[in-house]
Structure 1
Amino acid sequence: MEFPYTEAMTVRSLERAFELLEHLTDAGGELALSELTEKAGLPMPTVYRLMQTMVARGYVRQEPSRRYSLGPRLIRLGEGASRLLGSWARPALADLVDRLGETANMALLEGDEVVYVAQVPSRHSMRMFTEVGRRVLPHCTGVGKALLAQLPEEDVRALLARTGMPARTPRTFTDPDALMAELAVVRERGYALDDEEQELGVRCVAVPLSGVHALAAFSVSGPSGRMTPETVEAVVPVMRGAADGFTTGLAGS
């Protein structure tokens, strides 16, 4: 039996707890009680009770500095959500493979790394293959650049300072300023390109996914001989349509 949703049916304390978790996430994972109180616009005793409840359940940690950080129990929830999101994306990825003939992936930004959560391989004997669950640094992949382009510049620079920018090929971006200029281009044109930056002989196109409540992107990759610049121009509109259809379907589900 389904019940019609009404505003009166929401539990306000749960809403506030989720909002506090989102504030922690938006701040990079750690805030002081006073900062949470200011961001939430709630009385400090209310915020304190909610945070201590989540500490007791493992969803929040209280550091020796007394600051609050995201707790380890959220990892299990996040992994489960990532698996579900990947399974929901498979029909859209399969349609991309049918239409474009190349391997299609979905990836998320988790911490400082890109994690692949779904893939449908090409039917070509020579094809690209990335294991679901594989983690890579974002600066040298098309899907990584599509994810980074959704972040403020200061967050990207902080991430790069933590991870470094190791060269995977002679074409890999290894200078933060050069990558920032590339991300500006990605935002303007709406897609990212890995032009043999992760692996020589492989070209990848990626488009961001909006409205997923996570930093996510679709990518299509194949040998450079098939993924020519002309092919890329034809691939991008198809990928944008698939991304829009997937996010619209999520919003309506």
Structure 2
Amino acid sequence: MATAATVSAHLSAVPCQPHVRPASEPAPTATLIGSVQRAMRLLESVAGHETGAPAKQLARETGLALPTAYHLLRTLVHEGYLRRDKGLFFLGDAAERLNSSGAPQKRRSTVVAALAHWRDAIGAPVYYAVYREGEIDLVCVSDSPGNPAVQEWADFRATGHAHAIGQCLLSQLDEAARRDHLDRYPVQSVTPYTVRDGHSLLRRLERTRRMEPVFARQEYALGTVCAAVPITAGTTAATIAISLPVHQVHRLHPAAQQLQAEVGRLLGPLALSISI
């Protein structure tokens, strides 16, 4: 289902190397810009007042002279980092955008942590994918040396008919969207076990019950079986999946049931994370 280069949930950070300052490099304090420091202190002070604060109070809290505080506050208002209303200062749109810029990373961290937990609890690589703008998007994979992810030996997006992830995502689409996908990515034999034609695949998808796990046995990669649990948030189709070696096929249904139960407990955070 994924190459070894696919984003893994357990990447190790590269150790930081100590920085040795050459003799020609100025001392760090010599490069600091006082006005920037003072402006940042004002922003921090404003952020601590949800109902706003007047300039005099902000100047007092930051230890700035009132004329300096006024000058910096006007500049921050002009740049959109603050807004002024009836003599009180509030965080502006530019500051709010900075505050929310870390949200995608937080959502990704939520998914990465969940996948790593399920990987260890179930003893299988775990995959997270969404159907986005007409394409199967494998967002994140969590595997381990003992339970490696399936190698993407055939284009994953073009072979959605052959793996549980793709079939699970397609089962959540309406008929028109399914046919559009198959028009762009026609059914083709990937292994001797792959569904033979688009008509047969559509019939299989129609028989798939809502929110039931989808199973595929050696349809994408010989020696591998997989299961995918559907997740629907609004109009977005998503799935969490696992894969196992074929000699562990007896584990597939119990593992899928365990995964579905685990996903149900984290459905709220996962639904919020679908946009990563």
Of 143-152 and 107-116, the range deviating more from structure 2: 107-116
Select 1:136's aligned residue among 157, 178, 182.
Answer: 157
More helix by share: 1
Q: In the TM superposition, what is the alpha-carbon distance from 1:99 to its structure 2 partner? A: 1.6
Aligned 1:91-170 pairs, distance under 5 A: 91-124=113-146, 127-129=148-150, 135-137=156-158, 138-170=160-192
Determine if contact 1:128/1:223 at 8 Å carries over to the other structure: no
Describe the SS at the equivalent of 1:215: strand
Distance 1:154 1:117 in 2: 24
Q: Which residue of 2 aligns with 1:237?
A: 257
1:110-152 per-residue CA deviation (whole Å, 9 max, x = no partner) reads 334322111110441x632458xx8423111101111001111
Separation in 2, partners of 1:3, 1:242? 38
2: distance between equivalents of 1:2 and 1:193?
53
Distance, in Å, in 1 between the alignment partners of 2:251 and 2:141 is 21
Deviation at 1:108, TM superposition (A): 1.3
Structure-2 change in CA distance of 1:179 and 1:156 (3 Å): same
Aligned pair in 2 of structure 1 residues 129, 84: CA closer, same or farther (>3 Å)? Answer: farther
Distance 1:171 1:82 in 2: 39
Q: Structure 1 residue 179: deviation in Å?
A: 0.8
1:59-99 CA-partner distances (Å, limit 9, x unpaired): xxxxxxxxxxxxxxxxxxxxx99876543211221121112
1:247 equivalenced with 2:264 (yes/no): no
CA contact (8 A) 1:204 1:222 kept: yes
Deviations 1:179-234 (A, max 9, x none): 122213332570111211111111110011122652210000121112x1x31221
> Runs of 5+ in structure 2 lacking a partner?
1-47, 52-101
2:204 aligns with 182
1-structure distance, mates of 2:113, 2:143:
12
- Measure the CA separation in 1 of the matches of 2:223 and 2:122: 18
Q: Deviations over 1:156-180 (max 9, x none)?
A: 1121012111221111123122112
| Higher mean C-alpha displacement, 152-161 vs 206-215 | 206-215
Cα RMSD of the aligned pairs, angstroms, is 3.0
Give the structure with higher Rg (CA).
2
Q: Could you tell me the TM-score, scaled by structure 1's length?
A: 0.59
Which whole-Å CA distance do the structure 2 matches of 1:106 and 1:162 have between them?
A: 23
Is the 8 Å Cα contact of residues 202 and 224 (structure 1) preserved in structure 2? yes
Count of residues in correspondence between the two structures:
173
Which residue among 181, 194, 216 is the counterpart of 1:194? Answer: 216
Unaligned stretches of 5+ in structure 1? 5-79
Change (3 A) 1:251 1:143: closer
Tell me the SS of whatever aligns to 2:140.
strand
Kindly state the Cα deviation for residue 241 of structure 1 after the two structures are TM-superposed.
1.7
Identity among equivalent pairs (%):
25
What secondary structure does 1:165 align onto? coil
- The secondary structure found in structure 2 opposite 1:128 is coil
Task: Please list, as runs of the form range in 1=range in 2, the aligned pairs for 1:50-129 lying within 5 A after superposition.
Answer: 85-124=107-146, 127-129=148-150
